Amino acid sequence: MTDHIDPSSDRLKQHFAQRVINQARQVLEVWQRLQRLDWNEARMLELREAAQLLQRYAERFEQAEHRQLAEGIGHCMQAVADNRGRLSSGVISELNLLMQRLARTGLRHGDRFEQTVLPPLRKPVYLALQHLERAERLAQQLEFFGMTAQPLDSANAFRAAMLERHPAAILMEVDFSGPGCGLQLAQSVQQGLEQKIPLLFYSHDDTDTPTRLAAVRAGGQEFFTGTLDASTLLERIEVLTHVAQYDPYRVLIIDDSRAQATHTERVLNGAGIVTRTLTEPIQAMAELAEFQPDLIILDMYMPNCTGTELAKVIRHNERYVSVPIIYLSAEDDLDKQLDAMSEGGDDFLTKPIKPRHLIATVRNRAARARNLKARMVRDSLTGLYNHTHTLQLLEDARYRAQRDGQPLSFAMLDIDFFKKVNDTYGHPMGDRVIKSLALFLKQRLRKSDHIGRYGGEEFAVVMPGTDAQTARQVLDGIRRRFAEIRYPAHPQDLSCTFSAGIAELRGDLDSKRLSQQADEALYRAKHGGRNRVELFGD
């Protein structure tokens, strides 16, 4: 007996499938708006309602993953409401994770309605290059990094694709479809668009200033020449399309008045800034190590300890020399304000202060402090943490793991035969491989994992809440995928592998011994044939 499928039922389910996808996009758009603007009550309610609607559609179309994600977002927004509208770093981390998963979802393969062509949530990148083979090879490389790219072989194909769907970004060769035609084509498709599409130009040969000027006038935000490599391209696209995770500013409020501290918290939380409050200044150093704020708001007059005294204590610790301290006080004597600022403070705000003034000051100071810190603690080639800061992060993670009874793993990675890469292909290719692995690790590890460049071709990863076996599974998967990447080179394309050693925190082990154990496991991986992951103690 043959099953008969009701065509009207089919159409109805297809309709709801499209509704699920469209509503998922709506949720992601509200989330992006929240990141750019203030987290006021109306916008948070909009996100909650969008998630509720997604949940209803997902239930009707029996899309379990969408339903679970929508429920998770709803629970997060309920947690914010229960906390009187105040954000916590835990809620932000959870929302980040949920939104990332939502951005990657689509209809399950094997669905009876698979023939319904539903575009993925994450838009593709259009590749308009003179040589289709080059574009296809680049698209394949971008796939390794989790980005969808669509090669296009003619101006007509490009225009047709633009009419069908706008991409996340466009990579356009200046001479695509004829000398200088790429410039004109890119400029024409952007005309009339309210929101411009990130546009990157490419020329195989180096170009003159007039060509680059024309690219700028056509809306180009980047210009590549020579050999195109996927990791560099992806890095720029991610910056231009703002797909990086939302990382709210963190502010530590130290004020003996609970009422004043709560008021300051509410103002800053409403702007999407995560806060933590201390009414006992004597606990400040322990809280700084735990919370790692971008900025400190400090009351001038507190019993047992004045604000200026506490500022001096904070500045004695090298780690907190560059953390901005803003005094918030009713003190209106200018001389006293200036004296206080000479004692380790960066700004002085007088109570009562308008919310907009407070938010703007905190954001500006925190943004500059973050940029400065990034230059101090990050490696210039990869953007990963440098050797010194990685060890500091390992020490912080070790302290928390031992205090909370949680697992912690530390891994060391080393690119195999890297000297041969430099000697055969040159140092620019070596740098490209290093940057590629750095990007690969950033994409595939959790936000709570800390990735550092230990030196040269060596990397380190601090993995809180992770036992050694789980760490091995994760890094082994990354190792296999990384080995599939091909780097265009002569006489043949290059591929690279890495070896890794992992140690898990045991008992009262200190961070120095933990890093030595990871190093010993890495040594064994190297001498055991390379391109493998080894655990200390196996």
Active centre residues (catalytic): 457
Instruction: Write the CA distances from 122 to 30, 111, 440, integer angstroms.
Output: 15, 20, 18
Tokens of 166: 């706008």
What is the residue-wise DSSP string for 355-377? Answer: HHHHHHHHHHHHHHHHHHHHHHH
CA distance 227 to 489: 9
440: number of CA atoms within 13 Å, CB side? 28
Q: What are phi and psi of 343, to 5 degrees?
A: -100, 45
CA distance 147 to 101: 14
Answer for the pair 294, 272: CB distance below 8 angstroms, yes or no.
Answer: no
CA distance 141 to 507: 43
Answer for the pair 411, 461: CB distance below 8 angstroms, yes or no.
Answer: yes
Report helix, strand or coil for 439.
helix
3-state SS of 183-229 is HHHHHHHHCCCCCCCCEEEEECCCCCHHHHHHHHHCCCCEEEECCCC
Element (H, E) at 515: helix 511-527
Burial (0-12, 13-18, 19+ Cβ within 10 Å), 409 = buried
Answer for the pair 252, 297: CB distance below 8 angstroms, yes or no.
Answer: yes
Q: What share of the chain is helix, strand, coil (3-state, %, to 5)?
A: 50, 15, 35
CA distance 522 to 290: 30
- Sheet (strand 222-225) strand order: 149-152, 125-128, 169-173, 199-203, 222-225
Q: What are phi and psi of 248, to 5 degrees?
A: -65, 155
Report helix, strand or coil for 343.
coil
Measured over the CA atoms of residue 86, residue 87, residue 90 and residue 95, the dihedral's sign is positive
